[in-house]
Amino acid sequence: MNNEKNQIYIIGYGNRFRQDDGMGPEIIEMLRADEIPGVVVEDKFQLSVDDAYDIAAADASVVLFIDASFYGEEPFTFDIIRPLGDINFSLPLISPEYVISLCSSCFEKEVQAYIIGIRGCEWGFSERISCRGMENMLRAYDFTRELIEILHMKISLYECIL
């Protein structure tokens, strides 16, 4: 893990053995190969409470979640994530909103958070991403790279103002 201040923390999650559900981790592999300074990338099967600790420990100022989407517009959607009002420790699946809420309530770490939901098309038992899913994923990857550049400029500008 990189300990630079004001870094961007990106989590791609999904099941690599369910075709298009593996698009989040696949983008993480692409970003990992790019070795972008100031960016921490993590691939997960699913989100967990530990992710809130990892984000806080990395001292990230921006968190980007990347996941396949069963519904939603093609090629992908991009949304702001807002923390949940109440935290319920009995949730079976952890959402990005829940992770961000834990960052704030348990670790006193406020972050800007976003999610890219890549429209998937096939969900069978295979490690192969569908052709249409691959097109959507590559467009989401290009968007992610552009977003990283914009966020780096914003973070640098903010540091100059301080």
Quote the DSSP letter at residue 152. Answer: H
CA distances from 152 to 36, 53, 76 (A): 11, 23, 22
What pLDDT score does 3 carry?
41
Contact 51, 100 (CB under 8 A): no
User: Over its length of 162 residues, how does the chain's per-residue pLDDT go in tens digits?
Assistant: 344 455 899 999 999 999 999 999 999 999 999 999 999 999 999 999 899 999 999 989 999 999 999 998 999 999 999 987 666 555 567 899 999 999 998 899 999 999 999 999 999 999 999 999 999 999 999 999 999 999 988 776 666 665
pTM over 0.85: yes
Residue 142: exposed, middle, or buried by beta-carbon count in 10 A (0-12, 13-18, 19+)?
Answer: exposed
Beta bridge partners of 77: 117
Contact 75, 20 (CB under 8 A): no
Q: How many Cβ atoms sit within 10 Å of the Cβ of residue 30?
A: 15
